[in-house]
Amino acid sequence: MSKTMKLTLRVWRQNGPSDAGRFETVKAEGIKDDMSFLEMLDVVNERITNDGGEPITFDHDCREGICGTCSLMIDGQAHGPNKRTATCQLHMRSFRDGQEVTIEPWRATAFPIIKDLMVDRSAFDRIVEAGGFITAPTGGAPDANLIPIPKPVADAAMDAAECIGCGACVAACPNGAANLFTSAKISHLNLLPQGQAERYKRVEAMVETMEEYFGSCTNHGECEQACPKAISIDWIALMNRDYAKAKFKNRRLLSRT
Amino acid sequence: MVLESKIPEGPVSEKWESYKFNRKLVNPANRRRYNVIVVGTGLAGGAAAATLGELGYNVSAFTFHDTPRRAHSIAAQGGINAAKNYRGDGDSVYRLFYDTIKGGDFRSREANVYRLAEESVNIVDQCVAQGVPFAREYGGMLDNRSFGGAQVSRTFYARGQTGQQLLLGAYQQLARQIGLGNVTLYNRCEFVDVVVVDGEAKGIVTRDLVTGEIRSHAAHAVVLATGGYSNVFFLSTNAMACNVSAAWRAHRRGAYFANPCFTQIHPTCIPQSDEFQSKLTLMSESLRNDGRIWVPNDPDDTRSPDRIPDAERDFYLERLYPSFGNLAPRDVSSRAAKRACDAGKGVGPLKNGVYLDFSDAIRRLGAPVIQERYGNLFEMYQRITDEDPYKVPMRIYPAVHYTMGGLWVDYELMTTIPGLYAAGEANFSDHGANRLGASALMQGLADGYFVLPNTISNYLAPKLGEKLVGTDHPAFQAAEAEARARFDGYLAAKGTRSVDWFHRELGKIVWDYCGMERTQQGLEKALSEIPALYEEFRTDVRVPGSGATLNQSLERCGRVDDFFQLAQAMCLDALMREESCGGHFRAEHQYDDGEAKRNDDAFAHVTAWEWSGDARTPVEHREPLVFENIKLAVRSYK
C-alpha cells in the first residue's frame, strides 16, 4: 500500500533572467510515495494556484526519462539521489517523510535561468549545429546493408548515442564543462563507418564551439555519476584523442590549399 | 465542397512514380525565393524542414520545446517497419501495403498506403546513412524483430529507443541546415493561428513562450507537423505538452478534420496506480515478441503469479487468436484485456491489469538475451512500479497512445486550405481506423523526408515571382488581435479552478464515453456534459500570473480550450459512425464473440468535419474509400 508523506521544499524562485532570485520555503503535503518527483511538484503547484499564488516553473515533458527536458538539482545532485535516473523517473519512495528537500535549477554560466527552475540549454544546439551530423542528403543513400557494421561497433555507437541532452553533466561539473555531452555525440558518429569522412572536421568544429560556451574539463568525473543514461567518461578520452589527431590532420589539409 | 483526394491515375504500384514525374518542379536556383514554414520538429516536421532546407528553400522551423530534439517522437520505443525482406521471409512492398490496409480495418486510402510501403525501404537506407545506430547481427547486417499484425520480421530497431535514434537523426540533419543558414529555428515558440488570405495559407501567428510576444510570419506555404491529440483524455502515453492546438486552429480557419473518433489504445502500458497520476507509461509492444499475456482462470485467485500453474492460467490471446497469438493487433489485444478485467480477472492491487510474463522466454533464452532485447524497458518498469520483471510478471493495461484521425489531407498532404499541409500524426491519412506497431515512425519519416519535399513544389512552382503577403496585411493584424484577445481572456477569467482540474474532468468524460468502448447512450451523454463543462471552464478557470513572462498555466489553458472543442467533434464522429472498426468500437456493433462488426456498405468512407463557428455543430463531409486492389474482408487474426 502506498504511504502518505509531508515534505518541506526549499525552492529557487526567480522571476526572470534579470531577477536576483531567492529560496522560498514551500510545504508539500499529502504526498504519496508512489508519486514521481514531478507529480509531487504538480500537487504543490495545484495548491499554490488554488491559494492565489504563482506556480513554480519547471521544464518537463515526456516523463519517461527519454526526452531530456526535465532538469532540477535536488539536494545538490543533478536529477536527485538515484543513479541512472532522470528527475521524471525519480519517485517519492526515495525520500523520507518529513524530509527537507532543496530544489534548484541547473547551475552553469552557459545555461542562463529563464524563470524559477527553467534554464536555457540552447548552447548544446550550437555544438551540434557545428558538426554533430553526417552529411547525407535525403534520397542519395545506398542500401542499408551495403556497409556491414560489426555488432560491437554498432553497440558502442549506440551506447554513446543514448545521451538525452538534458545537461546534467554540465550542472554536476565543478567547471561547468560540456565534455561528456559533446564527446558522446562525437563518439556516436566517429565510431561508425559512415562518420569517417567528416571525423576530424567534426571533432574540431564541435570541440571549439563547446569551448566558446562551456568551461574546461579537469577529469572530476562528476558528469558520469550524474548522467541519467550512465554515458561513460571514456568518450571524453576518445574525443581528446581525435581532437589532437585532427589538429595534425587538418593542418596538413591546410598546407595543401 | 467536394473532397478531391487527387489520387493519380494508373495501377497502385505506379501512381507515386507517375506523380513524381508529372508534378511541377522548382529549379534549384529559384528555391531560395520561396519561404516555407514548418511547425513542429518531430520526425515529420524535423525531416521535412531539414530536407526542404537542403533542397534550397528558405525554411523557418517552429517548436514549443527548447530544442527540436525534445519532440515526442523521441519516446517511440519499438521500431520502424520497412519492406526490405532482409529475412527472406516473404516480405514485399505489397505485403506491407496489404498488412497496413488490413491492420487499419479498411478505412485508409490505398494509394497513400502503397506509397508509404514503397518509401519505407528508402527510410531505412537514409537513416543508416545519417548514422542511426540500428541493432546489428554479429555479421554486421541489420537485425529485425516482428511486431503486431504482421507474420514477417520487418521491424528495424535501436534497442528500446528507436524513436530517439530516428529523431536524433532528423535533428542532426536539421541542425546542419540551421548551421548552414538554410533553416531558421524558433524555439520555445508556439503556433497560435494560421493566416488565410484569398483562400490560401499565407503565414502563421506565433506566441513566444518566454516573452509572451505575439508575432506574425509570412510564407508561401505552411506545413503543420504537430502530432496527435491523445492528451484530450488527460491520461495518455503522450508527453505532457502534446496538444491539438495547431491542427485545431487550422481547422477553425477552414481545414477539415477527418475521423477524429479513430483513436488508438495501446495494449501494453503500466496500469494507473492512483488519481494523482499525470501520465501513463507505455511498455513497447515489442515485449509481446517474448512475453506471454495471461490472467488467472479464477477471478478470486490471490496467489502470487509464479505459484499459479499453467493449467490455471488463461493465455487468452493464444487461445482466441492461435495464429497471431500474443502478437494480435493493438485494438484486438486491448479489447481482450478489457474483457478480462471487466470479467473480474484483472490483477494487481486495483485489479486493473493483466500479466505479461517473461518466465518462459527467460527459461528458453536465458536472462542475458532478454536483457539485451528489453533491458531498458525492464528497468523503466521497475523504476515506476518497484517490481522486478525478471522475477514477477509485468502488469499491463491498455492506454490511449496514438490518434489516427487528424487534419484531412489529399494525396499531396495538402489540407482543404491550399498552401497548408499536414504531415505525420497530425494528418489522418495512412492508418485508417487502427495503426500497426512500428508504423508511426515510418509514416512520420516518409511524409517528412520523401513525400512533402516532392509534393510541395507542385503548389509552389506556379507561384514563382509572387510576392509574399506582408505581415502588415489586415488578415495578419486581425489574427494577431484575435490571439491577444484570446490569451487576455484566459487571464481575465480569474475563476476558482485550475486548468489541470478542468483538463482532468474533461479527460474522464472522454475516456468513459469515447474510450475503448463506445455506445450511443454514452456518447450522447458526453455530448451534453462536455459543453456544460466547457461553459464552466470559460468562466471559472484560474490562470495565475501574467501574459508577459513565461507562464505555463497560460500555455496549458490555450491547449485545454482547444481540447474541449475537439472532444465534441470526436464524440459526434463516434456517434455518427454506426459500426465498429479498428480503434473505434461501438458496443452495438459486434459479433457474438465480441469481435468488431464493420459496416462497409454505409461507412467505407472518411468523415471530414468542417468548422461551423460552433464546436457543437460541425458540418459533415464524406470521402468515399475505393478499394481497387484489396478485397474488403472481415479482419481475422485467428
Q: Please, what is the Cα angle at B212 between B209 and B215, to 5 degrees?
A: 95
User: Distance (Å, rounded) from C-alpha B508 to C-alpha B280?
Assistant: 14
Give chain B's domain count. Answer: 2
Q: For residue B190, give the amino acid letter.
A: E
Q: B126 and A138 in contact by Cβ < 8 A?
A: yes
Nearest Cα residue in chain A from B166: A161
Domain assignment present for B301: yes
Shortest CB distance from A67 goes to which of B141, B239, B349?
B239
Which DSSP category does B326 fall into? G
Residues B605 and B504 in one domain: yes
Q: Which of A41, A62, A186 to mutate to test the interface with B (most CBs of B within 10 A)?
A: A62
Residues B291 and B390 in one domain: yes
Which residues of chain A lie closer than 8 angstroms to B158, CB-CB? 158, 161
Is the pLDDT confidence value at A250 over 90? no
In tens, the pLDDT along B53-97 reads 999 999 999 999 999 999 999 999 889 999 999 999 999 999 999
pLDDT at B273: 84
Q: A61 and B549 in contact by Cβ < 8 A?
A: no
The Cα of A165 is separated from the nearest Cα of chain B by a number of Å equal to: 8
Q: A128 and B172 in contact by Cβ < 8 A?
A: yes
Residues B480 and B603 in one domain: yes
| A227 burial via Cβ count (<10 Å: 0-12, 13-18, 19+) | buried
In tens, the pLDDT along B92-146 reads 999 999 999 999 999 999 999 999 999 999 999 999 999 999 999 999 999 998 8
pLDDT (mean) for B288-309: 93
Q: Select the more confidently predicted residue: B437 or A122.
A: A122
By residue range, what is the domain housing residue B526? 474-612
Is the pLDDT confidence value at A256 over 60? no
pLDDT (mean) for B518-525: 98
Shortest CB distance from A192 goes to which of B131, B165, B501?
B131
| B465 burial via Cβ count (<10 Å: 0-12, 13-18, 19+) | exposed
Residues B393 and B478 in one domain: no
Last residue of a domain, one of B400, B431, B450: B400
Residues B300 and B390 in one domain: yes
pLDDT at B104: 95
If you search the block for the grid coordinates 541532452, which residue do you land on? A165
Q: A135 and B176 in contact by Cβ < 8 A?
A: yes
Is the pLDDT confidence value at B148 over 90? no
Is the pLDDT confidence value at B359 over 60? yes
pLDDT at A1: 58
Residues B377 and B275 in one domain: yes
pLDDT at B231: 98
pLDDT (mean) for A52-78: 97
Q: Which of B278, B496, B559 to mutate to test the interface with A (most CBs of A within 10 A)?
A: B278
C-alpha cell at A199: 571525423
* Plot region of A181 (φ>0 → left; ψ -120 to 50 → alpha; else → beta): alpha
Residues B481 and B601 in one domain: yes
pTM for the whole structure: 0.96
Is the pLDDT confidence value at A257 over 60? no
| Closest-CA residue to A39 (of A47, A51, A31) | A31
If you search the block for the grid coordinates 558520469, which residue do you land on? A224
The Cα of A80 is separated from the nearest Cα of chain B by a number of Å equal to: 14
Lowest-pLDDT range of B246-250, B334-338, B470-474 = B334-338
Shortest CB distance from B131 goes to which of A16, A118, A194?
A194
In tens, the pLDDT along B266-277 reads 999 999 888 789
Domain assignment present for B584: yes
Cα B327 to chain centroid, rounded: 21
Give how far Cα B336 sits from Cα of B151, B306, B353, B383, Å: 20, 22, 12, 27
Which residues of chain B lie closer than 8 angstroms to A133, CB-CB? 130-131, 172-173, 175-176
- Enumerate the H helices of B185-254 as residue ranges: 245-252
Lowest-pLDDT range of A5-9, B260-264, B633-637 = B633-637
If you search the block for the grid coordinates 479552478, which residue do you land on? B497
Is A164 part of the contact surface with chain B (CB cutoff 8 Å)? yes
Shortest CB distance from B86 goes to which of A2, A68, A145?
A145
For the domain spanning A4-115, the CATH number is 3.10.20.30
Is the pLDDT confidence value at A251 over 80? no
Which residues of chain A lie closer than 8 angstroms to B142, CB-CB? 144-145
Domain assignment present for B557: yes
pLDDT (mean) for B343-354: 92
Which DSSP category does B143 fall into? P
| A-B Cβ pairs (cutoff 8 Å, strict) | 213
Q: Which of B172, B268, B550 to mutate to test the interface with A (most CBs of A within 10 A)?
A: B172
Domain assignment present for B439: no
pLDDT at B375: 87
Residues B396 and B507 in one domain: no
Residues B483 and B357 in one domain: no
The Cα of B131 is separated from the nearest Cα of chain A by a number of Å equal to: 6
Q: B129 and A151 in contact by Cβ < 8 A?
A: no
Chain A segment 11-50 residues within 8 A of B by beta carbon are 15-16, 32, 34-36, 38-39, 42-43, 46, 48-50
Q: CATH number of the domain at B534, please.
A: 1.20.58.100
pLDDT averaged over chain B?
Answer: 95
pLDDT at A254: 64
User: Distance (Å, rounded) from C-alpha A186 to C-alpha A197?
Assistant: 13
Which residues of chain B lie closer than 8 angstroms to A39, CB-CB? 276-278
Residues B379 and B484 in one domain: no
Contact by Cβ (8 Å): B191, B410:
no
Q: A136 and B173 in contact by Cβ < 8 A?
A: yes
- The yes/no answer on whether domain A121-256 falls in CATH 1.10.1060.10 is yes
Task: Note if B207 is an active site residue.
Answer: no
Query: In this structure, are strands B58-62 and B189-197 parallel, antiparallel, or unpaired?
Result: unpaired
Is the pLDDT confidence value at A238 over 60? yes
Which residues of chain A lie closer than 8 angstroms to B50, CB-CB? 138
Contact by Cβ (8 Å): B1, B416:
yes
Give how far Cα B255 sits from Cα of B350, B415, B608, Å: 43, 6, 9
Residues B395 and B503 in one domain: no
Name the band, by pLDDT with cuts 50, 70 and 90, for residue A252. Answer: low
Residues B576 and B487 in one domain: yes
The Cα of A87 is separated from the nearest Cα of chain B by a number of Å equal to: 12
Domain ranges of chain A: 4-115, 121-256
Cα B63 to chain centroid, rounded: 17
| Closest-CA residue to B397 (of B337, B317, B351, B331) | B337
Q: B129 and A143 in contact by Cβ < 8 A?
A: no
User: Distance (Å, rounded) from C-alpha A88 to C-alpha B278?
Assistant: 11
Which entry of B154, B292, B330, B395 is annotated as an active-site residue?
B330
Name the band, by pLDDT with cuts 50, 70 and 90, for residue A253. Answer: low
Chain A segment 211-250 residues within 8 A of B by beta carbon are none
Shortest CB distance from B276 goes to which of A39, A140, A165?
A39
Domain assignment present for B512: yes
The Cα of A231 is separated from the nearest Cα of chain B by a number of Å equal to: 14
